[in-house]
Amino acid sequence: MDSFETKCVQAGYSPKNGEPRVASIVQSTTFAYDTSEGMAEIFDLKSEGCVYSRLKNPTCQVLETKVAELEGGVGGLATASGMAAILTAILNLCDTGDNFVSVSSIYGGSYNLFNVTLKKLGIECRFIDLDASEEEFGKKIDDKTRFIYFETIANPCGRLPDFEKFARLSKKYNIVLMVDNTIASPYICRPIEYGVHVVVHSTTKYLDGHGVAIGGMIVDGGNFNYLNNPRYPQFNIPDASYHGVVFAKHFGNAAYINRARSVGLRDLGGSMSPMNAFLTNIGAETLHVRMPRHSENTLALAKVLEKHPAVLWVKYAGLESDPEHAKAMKYFYKGYCSGMLAFGIKGGREAAAVFQKGLKLFKIVTHVADTKSCVLHPASTTHRQLSDADLISAGVPAELIRLSVGIEGEQDIINDVVNALNNTL
């Protein structure tokens, strides 16, 4: 089970004699025990096992094990959605009065959570530009700063991080790095190998890959020592809600993920359903087959767009002309850059409307990252409440069109986009 490909197909489940070949959907809320002492051992965290599906479910465990192995972590936690993963991951580190530093070019849903909802809970997000210097990052970090947050491929603007800069910051301040690896997927990038400690996913995207199940995942790298680190008291003082367990001592290098489950899922309740875990697990079996196709189709399209007279600019790190191409070659498997591409259309909002009407293969949806090609014009949909100036500062100018390139035939994809673009000239 060494190769990434084999893990995609088989990790997390191996049938014993006479058992089903495919991991089953265990559609049960609860699990029965012969004695109450047997169940008590699980509550005391002395033995493993399922009691109640809000906390742990066998079908979810298959997916958790698979994604943790794909990311190279020590444990995974499946959640109801990507947003549930991000919230659970953050509340595992932050209390009221704490803060964290996030780059500002991130997924819009995360931006709102950080900028509005967490603020109301008294958790402050300090935004900073992805390319700010280490000194500038340092100025945002104080005793109450609990982690630094960024995305491997920022959705929708497509920018990439300098992992080495973040790893140096983490060492200097002895602080956790949390990364959203949704758009890259572990096939293209494994952030833990570059010093990241907590990886979050919207499995709704490439891990499922077919647009059938909302879900999320948290992976613990097992590479951060919470023990006696004053930034993380919740791992170092006896937890009154868990019989005085000291997580950093009891769980060693898997303290983070065990606390996320036994406190986070227990109290917040954002667990994945067994049905969605089953569907996502089937999808993940072909991750290694789909990601090269997504990446190759997108690069071929990006090369055509770069030369098209209706196009102002193209942002795709896979292009040799892209200023971040070197980072893609350094950090991404074979330089693959996934299936999301942004470009600027000449003529702004009006041209964007004409362009989208002309598309046949690409459908207008707010989703990205499945087998079927789709398109979104943020300025007239997801970001329509913003002024033109606000759109620019949010990194989504009015002319920006986001394409999620599927795994249909390359020439069909190119023809569809070029035909629709020609209508705008």
Closer residue to ligand PLP (CB): 99 or 105: 105
With vertex at residue 33, the alpha carbon angle to CA 88 and CA 48, rounded to the nearest 5 degrees, is 45
Closer residue to ligand PLP (CB): 204 or 236: 204
Closest C-alpha among 141, 133, 162, 151 to residue 395: 151
Closer residue to ligand PLP (CB): 61 or 204: 204
Binding mask 257-286 for ligand PLP (x = CB under 6 A): ------------------------------
Closer residue to ligand PLP (CB): 78 or 169: 78
182-201 residues near ligand PLP, rule: CB under 6 A:
182-183
Residue 205 Cβ vs ligand PLP, minimum distance, rounded to whole Å = 6
Residue 16 Cβ vs ligand PLP, minimum distance, rounded to whole Å = 33
Tokens 């973040």 correspond to: 166
Closer residue to ligand PLP (CB): 114 or 226: 114
Rg (CA), the chain: 22
Closer residue to ligand PLP (CB): 58 or 215: 215
- Which range, of 46-54, 180-188, 315-323, 411-419, touches ligand PLP by CB under 6 A? 180-188
The single residue among 71, 180, 208, 370 that binds ligand PLP, judged by CB under 6 A, is 180
The single residue among 110, 185, 295, 424 that binds ligand PLP, judged by CB under 6 A, is 110
- Which range, of 105-113, 115-123, 187-195, 344-352, touches ligand PLP by CB under 6 A? 105-113
Binding mask 44-83 for ligand PLP (x = CB under 6 A): -------------------------------------xxx
Encoded amino acid at 370, one letter: D
Structure tokens at 108: 């819009």
Closer residue to ligand PLP (CB): 109 or 347: 109
Residue 109 interacting with ligand PLP (CB under 6 A)? yes
The single residue among 23, 42, 199, 214 that binds ligand PLP, judged by CB under 6 A, is 214
Binding mask 136-175 for ligand PLP (x = CB under 6 A): ---------------x---x--------------------
**339 vs 272: CA distance, rounded Å:** 26
Closer residue to ligand PLP (CB): 98 or 180: 180
Q: Which position's Cβ is nearest ligand PLP?
A: 82
The single residue among 216, 344, 397, 406 that binds ligand PLP, judged by CB under 6 A, is 216
Count of positions on this chain that bind ligand PLP (CB under 6 A): 16
Contact residues for ligand PLP, defined by CB under 6 A: 81-83, 107, 109-110, 151, 155, 180, 182-183, 202, 204-205, 214, 216
